[in-house]
């Protein structure tokens, strides 16, 4: 027995969940020799790779390759050691 269509109209399906995808951040640079590197002195771009608590963001969030992520981690650690970046944030 067919259902009457006038009793209940079908709505178009929408996306059920909102997506909060950030755009992938690219901070790698290429030198004149063609090698990619991340400069520890560039604190503005390194701050984008750190969460609000001071943790280094994952590859999934940053969109970096494995090699770039290792370079990011080393650059952040160098910048922290040189007191260019804080180890943790003091927003309490």
For 7-27, how does the pLDDT look when each residue is reduced to its tens digit (9 = 90+)? 666 667 666 665 666 666 667
Mean per-residue pLDDT over the chain, rounded: 80
C-alpha to C-alpha distance for 6 and 85, rounded to whole angstroms: 64
Number of domains in the chain: 1
What letter would DSSP give residue 37?
A: E
- Asked whether residue 34 is assigned to any structural domain, the reply reads yes
Domain that holds residue 77: 29-81
Q: Tell me: the pLDDT tens digits for 59-91?
A: 888 888 898 899 999 999 999 999 999 998 776
- Tokens 């650690």 belong to residue: 77
- Token output for 11: 């709505």
Q: Classify residue 37: in a domain, yes or no.
A: yes
Q: Is residue 17 part of a domain?
A: no
- The enclosing H or E element of 36 equals strand 36-37
Look up residue 14 and give its two tokens: 């929408």
Is residue 11 domain-resident?
no
Residue 74: inside a domain: yes
- Whether 2 maps to a domain, the answer reads no
pTM of the model: 0.68
Measure the CA angle with vertex 11, ends 10 and 15; round to 5°: 140
Identify the CATH number of the domain in which residue 74 sits. Answer: 4.10.640.10
Assess contact for 53 and 88: CB atoms under 8 A: yes
In a domain, 24, yes or no: no
Neighbours of 50 (CB within 10 A): 19
């Amino acid at each position: 027995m067919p259902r009457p269509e006038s009793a209940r109209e079908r709505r178009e399906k929408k996306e059920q969940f909102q997506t909060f995808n950030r755009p992938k951040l690219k901070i790698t640079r290429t030198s004149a020799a063609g090698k990619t590197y991340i400069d520890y002195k560039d604190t503005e771009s390194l701050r984008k790779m750190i969460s609000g608590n001071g943790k280094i963001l994952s590859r999934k969030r940053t969109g970096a390759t494995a090699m770039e992520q290792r370079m990011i981690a080393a650059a952040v650690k160098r910048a922290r050691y040189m007191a260019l970046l804080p180890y943790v944030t003091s927003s309490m």
